[in-house]
Amino acid sequence: MKLLTHNMLTSKCIRGVSVGYPLIINATEVKVNQTLFNSEFVSKLIPKVDWPVLYNAAESIGHSEDLPKEAPNDFEQNEEFLKKAHRALVEIEVISGNLVCPESGRKFPISNGIPNMLLNEDEF
């Protein structure tokens, strides 16, 4: 699970949960896979992403490194920043562990890099 994926995931489908976001990450294995950097790709992504959630996610699994807490205003021209963002968004991967609903505590296992978000029929 890349942190961009984490950035969009929510547990609000659970009955009784109102926001369910962001999910807490309990990681037991994290990997960094280098991928091709493209500044236009990253800069178009930045406005779509909840940056504080991304930052906290990276920090919670010990990979915040020198990622800024806030995205700079000039992010489109700031290649140094875009590279850091690229790394956080699509290179860091949680291979195993759990995602935890912040309201209900419901756990969603991550194994082989795949979060299992399945709910039982009676949960939603």
Partner 1 sequence: MSVQKVGCSRGQQKKVNRKLAKFQHVIKKEAGVNSSPIPTNNLAICNAGLVNGLTEESIFEYFSEFGPLSDILLLPGKSCSFLAYEDVKCAVAAYNALNGKLDIAQYNRPIYLLYVDQLPRLSETTIWDKLPPGLIIINDFISTAEEESLLKLCSFRDQLCGIMKNRLVEHFGFEFRYDINNVDKDKPLSCNVPCETNFLWARLQQTHPEFGQFQPDQLTVNCYSPGQGIPHHVDTHSAFESPIMCLSLASTIVMEFKNEGLHICSLLPRRSLLIMSGESRYNWTHGIVPRKFDVIRNKSAVGFTCLKRETRISFTFRKVLHGDCKCSFKAKCDQMKQNNINGNVAAQLEALHVHEVYENIADHFSDTRHKPWPNVLEFVQSFTYGDILVDVGCGNGKYLGHNKYIFDIGCDRSTGLVDICRGKKVETFITDCLSIPINDQYVDGVISIAVIHHLATEERRLKAIKEMVRILRIGGKGLIYVWAHEQIKNQKKSSYIMQCRKNRKETTLKHLDSSEGRQEVPLPGGIELPVHANRSNFKASDVLVPWKLKDDNKTFLRFYHVFGEHELEKMCQQINNIEIIRSYYDQGNWCISFRRVE
Q: Count of residues for the chain?
A: 124
Nearest of 67, 68, 66, 61 to residue 31 by alpha carbon: 61
Phi and psi of 23, rounded to 5°? -80, 145
| Whether 87 contacts 15, CB under 8 Å | no
Residue from 9, 24, 67, 100 touching partner 1 (CB under 8 A): that is 9
Shortest distance, CB of residue 33 to partner 1, whole angstroms?
Answer: 8
Identify residues 44-63 at the interface with partner 1 (CB under 8 A).
44-45, 48
Q: How far apart are CA 85 and CA 54, in angstroms?
A: 9
- What x/- string results for residues 91 through 120 when contact with partner 1 is judged by CB under 8 A? ---------------------xxxxxxxx-
72/114 with CB nearer partner 1: 114
Residues that bind partner 1 (CB under 8 A): 1-2, 4-5, 8-13, 21, 38, 40-45, 48, 90, 112-119, 121, 124
